[in-house]
Amino acid sequence: MTQNKKPNIKVLYDEKTLADQVERLAQEIAVDLPENVLVISILKGSFIFAADLLRAIHRAGGTPDVEFITLSSYGHRQTSSGKVEIMRDINTDVKNREILLVDDILESGRTMAFAKDLMYARGAKNVRTCVLLDKPHHRAVDIQPDHKAFDCEDLFVIGYGMDMAHGYRQLPYIGVVVDDDDNDE
C-alpha cells in the first residue's frame, strides 16, 4: 500500500499519550543512569522515539552520549531465518562503557539481542535495553526489555518513526492501517 492511496489509519497511541509515556520512561531510566552512559539508537525505526527520549532524559537530569547504528533484520516475521545485518555502524569505542540500547519495537527479539551481543563482544561494561513497544507474541529469542513504554498488541503499527513499506514514519502518532471495508467512517 502506498501513501498516495490515503488509507484509513486508526490511532492507537496519540501524541499526548506518547509524550506522557516517554516522560515517565525517562524518569524511570534516569533513576540509576550512569553519568557517562552511551545511548545507542537503533535506526531507522527508533529515530523519533530516541530524539524525544533523549530530551526527556535531559529534563530528568541525565547526561548521555549518543550514537546511532542502522540494523536490518531480514525475515523477522518468519520463525527460523531471521538474520540481522549492520547497515551502518557506530564509530565510538564501547569498551568498558555503560550502554543503553534504544529501539522502537521488540518483537522476535533478534534485532535487540544482536545489538546487545555485539556491544558485549566489543567489551561494553553493561548493556541495558529500552523499547517503545514490547510485542511479545512472536518472540524467537529469550530477551526482555529492561525498560519499555507500552505493551503492544499483535498488530502491525506505523508512525512515530515506524514504517510500512518505507512510508508513514513521519506520523506524529502510532496507528494501524484499517481496511476501507472495516472502517465505518
What does the angle CA 109 – CA 110 – CA 111 come to, to the nearest 5 degrees? 95
Shortest distance, position 32 Cβ to ligand IMP, whole Å: 25
CA distance 107 to 84: 13
Comparing every residue's Cβ against Mg ion, the nearest one is 45
**Binding test (CB under 5 A) with Mg ion, winner from 26, 37, 45, 49:** 45
Cell numbers describing residue 80: 527460523
> Residue 45 or 62: which CB sits closer to Mg ion?
45
Q: Which residues of 65-81 are buried (b: 16+ CB within 10 A; e: fewer)?
A: ebbbbebebeebeeeee
Which stretch, 15-23, 33-41, 54-62, 100-108, contacts ligand IMP (CB under 6 A)? 100-108
Shortest distance, position 96 Cβ to ligand IMP, whole Å: 27
Shortest distance, position 139 Cβ to ligand IMP, whole Å: 8
**Chain positions contacting Mg ion, by CB under 5 A:** 45
